[in-house]
Amino acid sequence: MPQDAFFCGPTAALLHGIPIPTMPAEIPALHVGLPKNTRAVHIVGVSGHSYDIHPDEVIVRDGCRLTSLERTGVTWLERLRSATWSQRATG
């Protein structure tokens, strides 16, 4: 992985010990982020993302770079809210 890459999304949530509302089988890839204006990682088994992220929102935990607990929580809340609105619109 590139040196400035970090785990994000469901991968960061799992590394933080946050229970996620989907089964692991539904999350087929590692989610890896890079700072905005950097090309997302394109590797088999990796879901690459480009983030507008402040350096303080990336931490090192057990030797792994990942989004901070706060940033990971906000990302999950946004994802859940978006999913809820999508379900209401189609349901």
Whether residue 1 is contained in a domain is answered as no
Burial of 75 (0-12, 13-18, 19+ CB in 10 A): buried
87: left (phi over 0), alpha (psi -120 to 50) or beta: alpha
Residue 89, pLDDT above cutoff 90 = no
**What is the residue range of 76's domain?**
6-90
60 within some domain: yes
**What does the pLDDT read at residue 79?**
76
Mean pLDDT estimate for the chain: 83
Looking at the domain assignment, is residue 15 inside a domain? Answer: yes
Asked if pLDDT for residue 59 goes beyond 60, the answer is yes
Place of tokens 């088999």: 44
Q: Is residue 54 part of a domain?
A: yes
As for how many domains the chain has, the answer is 1
Section 58-82 average pLDDT = 90
Q: Per residue in 39-52, pLDDT tens? A: 888 888 888 999 89
The model's pTM is 0.80
